[in-house]
Amino acid sequence: MPTWFNDLATSAWNRTSVTVNIFKNAHQGGYLGPMPGWFKGNLNSAHNNMMSSVDSLC
């Protein structure tokens, strides 16, 4: 992810059928939870402006 992405996400759009794990730290540190395939919307309010990296489960 680009550095400008760190801790700024409020919403997300997973345009795949694959579940994506979201993390609060770069390099998949600080697990926040899964984002199901085809999810489109706001992140959990507890995760607002925290997401910094993602990892797909494929």
pLDDT at 19: 95
DSSP letter (8 states) at residue 43? P
Task: Report pLDDT for 25.
Answer: 83
Helix (H, G, I), strand (E, B) or coil at 4: helix
What pLDDT is stored for residue 33 in this prediction? Answer: 93
pLDDT for 5:
67
The reported pLDDT for the residue numbered 2 is 60
pTM, 2 dp: 0.77
Please identify every stretch of the chain with a pLDDT value under 50, giving residue numbers as ranges: none
Write down the pLDDT at residue 21.
94
